[in-house]
Every structure is written in C-alpha cells, then in structure tokens.
Amino acid sequence: MRSWARDAVRNDFRARNHPAYWAFVVHRASGVALTLFLPLHFWALAQSLQGEARLESFLRWTDQPLVKLSEIGLVLLLAAHMAGGLRLLAIEFLPWRNRQKTLLAAAAAATFAFGLALLLNLT
C-alpha cells in the first residue's frame, strides 16, 4: 500500500474517533428513526377521524408497557435530534474557535436535560 493511501486510511480512522463524528452519527440516526416513526404518528392521528370508538381502542392499546417504553425512546430521539440541530446552528452562525468539544458536551447535556424534562411530563 502506498504511503498516501495508508495516511488516508489512518486519517479516516482518526476522524471516526472524533466526538464531532459521533455527534453527526447520533443526529443522523435520530433523524432517520424519527422519519420512520412519522407515518405511524399520522396513522395514529387518523384513528380520531374513524370515530370515537376506534380512537379509544387505539388509546387503550398505547397503555401497554412496551409502548410506554418506546415513548421514552421517542422522547430521547427527539431530544438528541434537537440538540444536534442546535449544535449545527452553533457551528453555522457562531464564530468558531477551538471550543468544539465544549459545544459537543453542551449539546449532549442539553439532550439529556430536554429528554428528562419531556420524560417527566409524560409520567
């Protein structure tokens, strides 16, 4: 393997160990997961158009423990995606220096704080 190719592989590996890469992965994965959830959400909303009995049946189904657990996951996905979006806005509009790791840590803290606040409102 040529030296430039070896350096490219080494740099690619180093880039994937950087906190910014993992912030990108979390933001992208949460966005994809939320996109996959959206049709289910619209279907749930459409149950109210089918009549009161149909909506009541659906709401009883949502009282299952597995559904409640998935709601917690959904709240965490929303919080992670929001914090990642705030991070991207900060990168785009704030003057940038060597504080990237600090902003990443702040975005992670905001994820947990918003997720916990939303979770407390669910229960």
> Quick check: 117 pLDDT over 70?
yes
Q: Of 116, 24, 104, which Cα lies nearest the Cα of 76?
A: 116
Summarised one tens digit per residue, pLDDT across range 8-26 is: 555 555 667 777 888 889 9
Its pTM stands at 0.63
110 CB-contact burial (10 Å; exposed 0-12 / middle 13-18 / buried 19+)? middle
Q: CATH number of the domain at 3-122, please?
A: 1.20.1300.10
Per-residue pLDDT at 31:
93
Residues 27 and 41: beta-carbon distance below 8 Å = no
Q: Biggest alpha carbon distance in the chain?
A: 69
> Distance between CA 72 and CA 67 in Å, rounded?
9
Show me where the domains of the chain are located: 3-122
